[in-house]
Structure formats: C-alpha cells, structure tokens
Structure 1
C-alpha cells in the first residue's frame, strides 16, 4: 500500500533523517566493484514477476501519486537527506554498509567481520539474480527519463535501459536490515529504520518511484525467506552472528 508521503510535511520529515559524512562522494557507483564473490543462488529460485504483480499504470491514481512524490522531492536537492541518499547509493564502496554499522554498533568491514561483510555482498549479487527478471518483464521507465530534474547521482546511459520496478537497492537494503536484525535483535528498530530509509533514498535520489521501493522491499523479504533454506547461507549467517557478537571495534563518525 502506498504510504501517505505526498505533503510538504512529508518532505520535511524525509529531510530530517541521518546525514551522510561530509566527504561522501557525489559519484558513487551502483557497483559491484571487481569481485570474485558469487551469490548464493546458482539460478533464480523465485518468480518475482508473479510475486509483485505489475507496477502502477502511469494514469492510475497510484501512478499519478508516484509522479507527484517524485516531483515534490526534487526540492530536497542539497539537503542533509539528499546527502544521505548519495551515501545509501554506495553499496560496494562502504557508504551504505556504514549506515548499517552505525545502527548495529559494530563496524562491518572485510577485516573485523569478514563473514558478515562477505554475506551482505553475496546477498546483493542474489538481488540481481532475483530482481532482474522482474525488471525486464515489466520494463518500467525510470522517473528520470524525459526530464532534466535534479537527481543525486550522475545521469548515465544505463538509466535508459535498466528498468525501475522493482528497486534493486531497496531489495538489498531491506534484506540486509532483516538479516542483521536476526543477528542483533536488540538493534532491530535501528536496523530496520535504516533499511526503510535506504529504500526511500532511491526515490529521494530521483532514480525510482516510491512503488518501485515498496516492490523492492517485498521481493527482498521473499529473497531472505528463500535464503534461509540454503545451507551455504545458513552457515555464513551463523559465522556472521558469532563475529558480530564478539566484535569490539565500534564504527566511527556516526
């Protein structure tokens, strides 16, 4: 169900979320960076098209609400919330994970918590396996197409061909939030808040509609449910839980 986010008060509330570090780059990549990691799934185990159903039609009430919210949130350019959206875009350079580290109270990195770091990035690769067929099936154009309104990342050619629905970043953020909440239930409120905010950052950023974000959360949750039946994921999750329970290094700059 579409959240009631279509007022100036909502824009103010969205802009009040946690700020990104001042040195967060404006051109962070979608990723992944060069990696030898693979996802847990050798093939797609879910029918994302069937699970989600189609995106709202542009001339429907839902579709018009999507466009209105996109247009209204362009006013956030240059705000603290805009900078946070830039950080949330950075799935492979550490920016997005830093936000989760702050919520968790543990610095997730390749040195201190290698199993957790590896697990999260393997999950991001699974997001591509599961989310791309649904994207391709529905072929929804991104909201940036056909206008020159501000977005929080550089406009690139891939935006013309990489479909908007569902949001892969929102899938990733929500799946990370769910799994990390299992590892640290006492931190679930903070972690799930970051997961929600990180998804909404895609709409704040201007590269997705809010219904793309909602669909990403739905498919991300479905992916996590399916991952729990995978022995390799279960083993990695157990290792990650032990790491995070004993980690002593706290994240800096939160």
Structure 2
C-alpha cells in the first residue's frame, strides 16, 4: 500500500511538472528585449568581476547553516516559496488551482524572456570562472547574466504583492532575499542579481497590460483572497 502511495505521488508530481513546463508564457524576448534594456555584464577579469567574485568567496566561508538552508530551498522556482510570508496553511496548490495555473504562466514567462539574453551574453557562472567557488545549490551551465531565479522571484513578488497589498513590504523583502540567495548559494554574481531585479520589474509592468493576464490575474486574486479569508480589494 505504501509503495502504491509513493507511486501515485510520483505520477502526480511528474504530471504537475509537465503542466508547469507546458504553461504558455504571457510574453517573450520579442516583446521584452533584455539585451537592449540591461547594461552589459562586467567583463571577465575586470575589477568589478573580481570584486563580485570576492563577495561570493567571503559569503562561502561566513554563511550560517540557516543561510545555506534557505539558499538551497530557494533553488525552487515557484510561488510557494512565499508561503512563509503569506503564513496561512491554506496557501497550497491543492487549495488554489486557478492561482497555481496562473503562476505557472508567470514562471514560464521568465524563461521565455530571460533565456535568450543569457545565451547572448554567455557570462560564465562563478564556479566555471573560478575553481575556488563551491556552490551549494544545483549547478547550471547556462549564462549567469541576468539571474533567472532573481527575475522570477522579483516578478512573483510584485504580482503577489498586487494580490495581497496588505503584505507588500514583507513580500518584496522576501523577493529580494530570494534573489540574494543566489549569491549565498554561490551560483550568481551580484550584478546578475541586480539585472534580474530589473528584468523582473520590467516583465511585471509589461504583462500587466495584456488582456489575458488581466483576466487570469483577477480570477487568481479572487480565489486567493477568498481561500485565505481576506476581504475583497
């Protein structure tokens, strides 16, 4: 019976993953061209590059176990990482199907916009630039600039703040921590994170003008506030 339960859990998990990957982005790099919007990343061996590498190496030897745990957990790219701020046991995918489907599209938008910029700049990840860097989060060989995790964290923070304005300050602080944890994890430089925050903000402001976004946002917001027992705003 236990094996059957585990098998069902795996099937459900895989199905959810497929649905998230198949989600249609609200925008793409044709509409939001980060290559023309963001500054060029620091050149290899430049003083800024060396300073950013030094920051990563310093954090590597000074981060606490709690910081490391948070950084590893924030490697997940989903809105449920904001559960600690929402602080409500009903804030789950099972309770919020419309909200979950909407944020699948939000997350998919990040990749559609950011990946071409990463491919254009091809900035080496810290651990590929220096053997001294020992990341504690899953490795990636994609371009480091801009940080996709930071982009989506900022994007999710802004969108979620517009749904729950009562917690805007806390949600945006969490979004900023989410991005900073890419430095703590040893997988990104500070300028990658800064560019990701700009990218996430630009994406949020662009897609909010789309009719399909507006409709799905309102439905997701209504569902979220109803499930959480919040008044309509």
Following TM superposition, by how much is the alpha carbon of 1:202 offset from its aligned partner in structure 2, in angstroms? 0.7
Q: Which has the higher helix share?
A: 2
Following TM superposition, by how much is the alpha carbon of 1:38 offset from its aligned partner in structure 2, in angstroms? 2.0
| Contact 2:135 2:187 (8 Å CA) reproduced | yes
Structure with greater Cα Rg: 2
Larger mean Cα displacement after TM superposition, 55-64 or 172-181: 55-64
Q: TM-score, normalised by structure 1?
A: 0.77
Matched, 1:100 2:82: yes
Q: 1:248 to 1:188 in 2, by over 3 A?
A: closer
Q: Mind listing any 5+ residue stretches in structure 1 that lack a counterpart?
A: 1-31, 250-254
Give the whole-Å Cα distance in 1 for the aligned partners of 2:113 and 2:163.
24
Give the whole-Å Cα distance in 2 for the aligned partners of 1:240 and 1:137.
34
Cα deviations by residue, 1:54-82 (Å, 9 ceiling, x for unpaired): 10123433222211111111114661011
Give the whole-Å Cα distance in 1 for the aligned partners of 2:45 and 2:39.
17
Matched, 1:210 2:196: no
Cα deviations by residue, 1:112-137 (Å, 9 ceiling, x for unpaired): 12222222221111111110111111
Larger mean Cα displacement after TM superposition, 54-63 or 195-204: 54-63
Number of residues of Structure 1 aligned to a counterpart in Structure 2: 211
Larger mean Cα displacement after TM superposition, 102-111 or 62-71: 102-111
Runs of 4+ in 1 over 6 A off after TM superposition: none
Give the whole-Å Cα distance in 2 for the aligned partners of 1:108 and 1:129.
27
Q: 1:43 to 1:72 in 2, by over 3 A?
A: closer
Q: 1:130 aligns with which of 113, 122, 145?
A: 113
